[in-house]
Amino acid sequence: MAKNDASAITKRYARSVLAPLRVNELRRAVKAATAAVVGDAATPVERLRVHPPGLRVEKPARRGDAPRRYVRVLIRDRDQRLFHDISVDTSGGIVEHLRVEDKRPPVMEEELREANDLIRGDKQLRPLLRRRRVEVEVISPAGERSGRRIALP
């Protein structure tokens, strides 16, 4: 969208509400969200996967009011097989904490790096990564089997 095409409200809040997340906002949100999950579940922190936080902007309750700026943090609890979808306000307070069943979790860069490291550590599989058309992929198993598997398609 061209800058001139933006609405008056978008222009008014572009530098405050719609601005990219700042490092301190990200840190504060991840810390608050992780603490909420650890306090909520019996899962140890090393079994949690924190997805990169994102900006969440909520429409105002009344026309003309400022939209609300939040940081959205997704944390996957690998032991309980669910996601914690947590929205944190700019001061670090939890605004919303949803628990979502972990049916088809997104693949994180960290998981792909771990998969590559595992394959590189295996002397029989390591040569496969040198092939042009072979790449690592994390897949969900078919049928009733739980969990996810590493695949070399």
Q: What are the pLDDT digits (tens) for 96-112?
A: 999 988 666 666 677 77
Residues 71 and 90 in one domain: yes
Give how many domains the chain has, as a whole number. 2
Residues 14 and 69 in one domain: yes
Distance CA 97, CA 37 (A): 9
pTM of the model: 0.65
Residues 97 and 115 in one domain: no
Residues 29 and 73 in one domain: yes
Distance CA 9, CA 50 (A): 33
Read off the pLDDT of residues 140-153 as tens digits, 9 standing for 90 and up. Answer: 555 555 555 656 55
Distance CA 50, CA 48 (A): 6
Residues 33 and 95 in one domain: yes
Read off the pLDDT of residues 56-112 as tens digits, 9 standing for 90 and up. Answer: 988 878 887 778 889 999 998 888 888 899 999 988 999 999 998 866 666 667 777
Do residues 58 and 71 touch, judged by C-beta distance below 8 A?
Answer: no
Residues 72 and 123 in one domain: no
Residues in the chain: 153
Q: What is the pLDDT of residue 105?
A: 61
Residues 65 and 136 in one domain: no
Q: Which domain holds residue 125?
A: 109-151
- The CATH number assigned to the domain holding 68 equals 3.10.450.40
Residues 31 and 84 in one domain: yes
